[in-house]
Structure 1
Amino acid sequence: MARLLPTQTDASVERSGEPAVLTLDDDTTRDAIEALSSETAYEIFRLLNETPATPARIADHLDQSLQNSHYHLRNLEAAGLIEVTDTCYSEKGREMNVYVVADDPTLLFLGTENDRPTLKRAFKSFASLLGPPSILLAIGESISRLFTGE
């Protein structure tokens, strides 16, 4: 028998190309650090970075109570780190929110807004140093996986 209400979601984690940059002189940074300071909240954020999930799925995955998962989800959402992307329904017909990471990627820069030009120069230098070697490492790893069957 077909279900009238969806019990699964087809939401996916969308990756944007532009990172959000959090700096020390921004209140959003403090909120993000406070929200991620709990081990449980950190693990929830990591899970949602990989795949969208409902509070019930998160609770099962982390072996936590549903109430504890809801508590950390509210804190992460209030900090702007996650957001509701979809809704699905439990087997009992209860509506469940589906959460994902809000802005991805996010860069935590331990400097102020005035230091951003220095940050850009540092990234350009870093990218130019790692560009060719990182390509060679990726090729080498791919070849290694091909021969080892991993």
Structure 2
Amino acid sequence: MGRLLPTETDASVERSDEPSVLCIDDEATCEVFSALGSETAQDIFRLLNEEPATPATIAEGLDMSVQNVHYHLGNLDDVGLIEVVDTCYSEKGREMDVFVVAEDPTLVFLGTSDDKPAMRRAFESFASVVGVSPLLVSLGNAVSGLLGEE
């Protein structure tokens, strides 16, 4: 007999080209650092960066309790680093959220939001090492737009 409810997800991770930029003097940056402050949260974030997963799958893969996973998922979700993209069901019919890393990549700039010239120099330096690519151009434009540069 076939299953009526999906027990697997076909969600995939797709990233936009527009990054969020967090500066060290921003309240949101403190919240992100706090959410990623434990090794467990970092492990969960890395796992979700590779593939979408349910709390039960994460708990099994990292050998920890589902309650502990839910705690860290809540923290990561609250600051916008992860999001729910799908729902599937356990074999017992319980609804399970499927989490992934948030669509928009996040850049952390360890300078203040007032230090636009330093941020521009950092991107130019990075581009000279890696080479200019459409991604870096897009990234630079996005950061300039976020910071209100002409």
Counterpart amino acid of 2:95? E
Using the TM superposition, name which of 16-25 and 114-123 deviates more: 114-123
Q: Which residue in the other structure is 2:124 paired with?
A: 124
Q: For 2:42 and 2:129, locate their aligned partners in 1 and report how far apart those are by CA, in whole Å.
A: 31
Q: 1:4-25 CA deviation, whole Å, 9 max, x = no partner?
A: 1000001011111122111112
Q: Greater Rg, structure 1 or structure 2?
A: 1
The alignment of Structure 1 onto Structure 2 pairs a total of residues equal to 132
TM-score when normalising by structure 1: 0.83
Q: Assess if the C-alpha contact under 8 Å between 1:20 and 1:103 holds in 2.
A: no
Per-residue deviation, 1:130? 2.9
- Map 1:43-58 → 2, pairs under 5 A: 43-58=43-58
Counterpart amino acid of 2:120? K
Regions of 4+ moved over 6 Å: none
- Map 1:1-150 → 2, pairs under 5 A: 1-131=1-131
TM-score when normalising by structure 2: 0.83
Q: 1:89-110 CA deviation, whole Å, 9 max, x = no partner?
A: 0000000000011144211111
Structure 1 gap ranges (5+):
133-150
Select the structure that is richer in helix: 1
Cα RMSD after superposing both structures: 1.4
Per-residue deviation, 1:54? 0.2
Using the TM superposition, name which of 97-106 and 78-87 deviates more: 97-106
Identity among equivalent positions (%) equals 68
Q: For 2:91 and 2:71, locate their aligned partners in 1 and report how far apart those are by CA, in whole Å.
A: 23
Q: For 2:13 and 2:83, locate their aligned partners in 1 and report how far apart those are by CA, in whole Å.
A: 11
